[in-house]
């Protein structure tokens, strides 16, 4: 059964989880912050809570290292690189300017140490050593970065190096860097914990994590700062309070304090005036639908991923969810995981989320009698 573009609204409307009653409160405009561009969004639902110039191409500085980390994590997950592998420190890596973890040319350094040196100490030298070990060269590694960016849907970004030092062809958008930061949180939670490390010591030198949110917000646990004269002061941050996680991106602030104040203001705004709820868990049946021509007549269907909704505080009673399915119904065979419709979440008259509805079991072709019976029933 193939999902067709024309959808028919089913009569049923799903029940939503019961939530504590709250008084609806007015939501002010987002805070005015000193930045060339910013973005605030909910991690679970992807709902944008505030943005300015989020799709403008800007210089990323060391925010580039978020993508560098993601590429290395993917290679580790694929079994192509191990944390215990030793990378050779080339002269190119050793000579790279800017912030350093102070690796020494000609030495071997473990991949885990290089990752910590890049994440906590923002080492440009560590970034090059990682790129050369994983990609063979900085240029080949940049190709990997761009391939992963394309796969993640980062349409406004282009990478030429792993550290973020200025290059005319190196640029990102706030929306894109949020995308890869959230991919790390989602795909590699074990590695993401490193982004909250307060300090790291290598070669007898201890350096503090540059992320000011780790000191200003006890719920912050990442992600990365960046600075060059051309890019200004940048910061991607993430905080989790109760079951709600927000991610903010601030780019092009004039001072270190300005980027910290902007990030904290955005976080406080989001947590103060918005709430987020998981409405339906992944792979849990929300309805059973009639199947024609199959070896069973009823099919359990549900979302392929957790369904979340983020909205202004106090508006939970306005939530409603409905199911939409293919106009001509469901016809066997249907494979588990195949999309058979969509779940649409509404807040009052506004659609705020639309997610695939999938089959939670296989339905094979029915026998001749079943097919003949269903052919007659479908006429009526």
Asked whether 273 and 15 are in contact (CB, 8 A), the reply is no
Asked whether 159 and 65 are in contact (CB, 8 A), the reply is no
Q: Is 2 a catalytic residue?
A: no
Name the active-site residue from 36, 45, 65, 90.
65
Asked whether 175 and 39 are in contact (CB, 8 A), the reply is yes
Asked whether 235 and 263 are in contact (CB, 8 A), the reply is yes
In the block, tokens 């930045």 appear at 35
CA–CA distance, 171 with 164 (Å, rounded to integer):
9
Whole-Å CA distances, 349 to 23, 280, 290, 344: 19, 21, 29, 12
Of the candidates 10, 6, 5, which has an alpha carbon nearest to the alpha carbon of residue 301? 10
CA–CA distance, 206 with 199 (Å, rounded to integer):
7
Would you say 36 is a known binding-site residue? Answer: no
Name the active-site residue from 45, 90, 99, 122.
122
Handedness of CA 190, 191, 193, 198 (dihedral sign): positive
What the block records as the tokens of 341 is 């419709």
Q: Is 62 a catalytic residue?
A: yes
Asked whether 98 and 165 are in contact (CB, 8 A), the reply is yes
Name the active-site residue from 62, 99, 157, 253.
62
CA–CA distance, 102 with 100 (Å, rounded to integer):
5
Of the candidates 149, 145, 148, 181, which has an alpha carbon nearest to the alpha carbon of residue 162? 145
Neighbours of 45 (CB within 10 A): 23
Q: Is 122 a catalytic residue?
A: yes
Just list the catalytic residues: 62, 65, 122
Binding residues, as ranges, are 224
Binding residues for substrate, as ranges, are 224
């Amino acid at each position: 059964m193939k999902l067709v573009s024309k959808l028919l609204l089913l009569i049923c409307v799903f029940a939503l989880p019961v939530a504590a009653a709250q008084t609806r409160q007015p939501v002010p405009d987002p805070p005015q912050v000193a930045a060339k561009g910013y973005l605030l969004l909910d991690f679970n639902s992807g709902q944008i809570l505030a943005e300015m110039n989020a799709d403008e191409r800007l210089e990323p500085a060391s925010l580039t290292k978020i993508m560098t980390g993601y590429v290395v994590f993917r290679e580790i997950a694929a079994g192509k690189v191990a944390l215990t592998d030793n990378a050779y420190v080339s002269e190119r890596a050793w000579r790279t300017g800017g912030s350093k973890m102070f690796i020494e040319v000609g030495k071997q350094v473990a991949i885990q140490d290089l990752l910590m040196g890049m994440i906590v100490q923002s080492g440009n030298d560590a970034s090059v050593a990682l790129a050369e070990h994983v990609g063979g060269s900085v240029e080949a590694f940049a190709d990997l970065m761009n391939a992963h960016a394309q796969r993640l849907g980062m349409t406004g970004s282009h990478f030429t190096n792993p550290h973020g030092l200025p290059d005319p062809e190196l640029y990102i958008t706030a929306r894109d860097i949020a995308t890869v930061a959230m991919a790390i949180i989602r795909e590699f939670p074990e590695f993401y914990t490193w982004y909250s490390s307060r300090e790291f010591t290598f070669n007898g030198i201890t350096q503090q994590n540059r992320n000011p949110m780790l000191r200003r917000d006890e719920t912050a646990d990442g992600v990365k700062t960046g600075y060059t004269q051309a890019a200004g002061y940048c910061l991607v941050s993430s905080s989790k309070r109760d079951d709600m996680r927000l991610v903010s991106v601030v780019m092009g602030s004039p001072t270190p304090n300005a980027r910290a104040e902007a990030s904290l203001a955005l976080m406080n705004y989001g947590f103060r005036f918005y709430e987020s709820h998981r409405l339906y868990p992944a792979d849990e049946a929300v309805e059973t639908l009639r199947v024609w021509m199959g070896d069973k007549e009823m099919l359990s269907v549900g979302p392929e991923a957790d369904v979340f909704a983020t909205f202004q505080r106090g508006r939970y009673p306005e939530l409603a969810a409905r199911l939409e399915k293919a106009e001509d119904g469901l016809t066997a065979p249907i494979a588990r995981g195949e999309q058979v419709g969509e779940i649409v979440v509404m807040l009052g008259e506004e659609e705020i989320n639309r997610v695939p509805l999938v089959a939670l079991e296989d339905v094979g072709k029915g026998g001749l009698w079943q097919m003949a019976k269903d052919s007659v029933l479908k006429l009526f």
